Amino acid sequence: MNARVPVIAVDGPSGVGKGTLCQWLANRLGFHLLDSGALYRLTALAALRRNLALEDESRVAAVAAGLEVEFRAGTDGSPRIFLEGVEVGADLRSETCGNAASQVAALPAVRAALLQRQRDFRRSPGLIADGRDMGTVVFPDAELKLFLTASAEERARRRHQQLSEQGMNASLKNLASEIAERDARDRQRAVAPLRPAADAETLDTTHSSIAEVCDRALALAARRLGLPKNC
């Protein structure tokens, strides 16, 4: 039914800048945004709040299937996320939650439970889909697939800077080892591992500013979706 709604799939490892790029593209093109990582984070958070063991696949998958979640745009356009009617803030973005999300994301039943929910975000006029398996599993027919990379050191440095800007203290060394651990789990899992789709455009952002990455992505999107050059 919604097959003709265009999707731009943006995949890549933690801390590569997908979130910033996707938010920018969604604003620029007036498209909807799917932050699929937030669904895995919310599942992990809801499971932890229920005191479930994160490896308890059937119970965690039941939590994912019944997730009562709402994404609203804040007054400044930034997304606000509500779990069971209550806004979740910094908890969701913490490294603890990211690591827990990576653990539940390795469970096939959890991925299956979240699949249709993600596809339902595909609504007119278009969707920017941010994740690890957007181009390979969730939207294999996406009009454009981008795969962002950057060295692990650069990603740890960016994350460190982002946390300091938010007034949070973190050790660069700990961040680097957490990123390496999460990368390994996301790449090696049996179901929907992190990898570029065969038809993805890979953008190495190690030496690029966010503005340069946004420009490159927009140029590719304009060409692929047949949008005017100054869209």
Residues at the site binding ligand DC, with contacts judged by CB under 6 A: 14, 36-37, 40-41, 98, 101-102, 105, 131-133, 182, 186
8 Å CB contact between 224 and 144: yes
Residue number with CB closer to ligand DC (6 or 37): 37
8 Å CB contact between 201 and 144: yes
Minimum CB separation of residue 98 from ligand DC in Å reads 5
Residue number with CB closer to ligand DC (15 or 126): 15
> Is beta strand 201-204 parallel, antiparallel or unpaired with respect to 144-149?
parallel
Residue number with CB closer to ligand DC (126 or 155): 155
Residue 45 host element (H or E) = helix 36-49
Minimum CB separation of residue 213 from ligand DC in Å reads 16
* 73 DSSP β-pair partners: 79
Residue nearest to ligand DC (CB): 37
Minimum CB separation of residue 228 from ligand DC in Å reads 30
Minimum CB separation of residue 43 from ligand DC in Å reads 9
Residue number with CB closer to ligand DC (29 or 189): 189
8 Å CB contact between 196 and 135: yes
> Cα(119)–Cα(43) distance, rounded to whole angstroms?
17
Residue number with CB closer to ligand DC (105 or 221): 105
Helix locations, 69-168, DSSP H: 90-93, 95-104, 108-119, 152-165
Minimum CB separation of residue 230 from ligand DC in Å reads 31
